[in-house]
Amino acid sequence: MTGALVLPVGLPLGPRQDAGAGVASVVRLGWEARALGADQTAVWGLARGLAGDDPVGDRELLLQRAAEVGVARPHRDVADLLGAGLLVSWDPGRPSVGAARRGGPAR
């Protein structure tokens, strides 16, 4: 892995019959249940890691794997999931806010 890591957030609740048309699965984030379409479910599942598979981790690899499994617009789905707070992106090569503060002057 060389790029930013993309990590999933939330608890998978799986498919729900009462969720409505176009909903492939539901993910709980805090007290909210977020409905995901089929492509979003595939992307979130790849980031999380499926049974017998390691999580993808790297953003570019996640986009590649999503395209390989038939996700029509992986860039859009990753961006939507990041915006919804169901994925987070972290670049291990950049210092964290805490590390930057520790290195700066005391206040």
Dump pLDDT digits (tens) for 37-56. Answer: 999 999 999 998 766 666 66
Strands (E), the chain: 5-8, 11-14, 25-29, 32-36, 87-90
In the predicted structure, residue 91 carries a pLDDT above the cut 50: yes
Confidence (pTM): 0.78
Nearest to 9 by CA among 89, 92, 65: 89
Tokens of 39: 């492509």
Percent of the chain with pLDDT over 70: 75
Helix, strand or coil for residue 5? strand
Tokens of 34: 């977020």
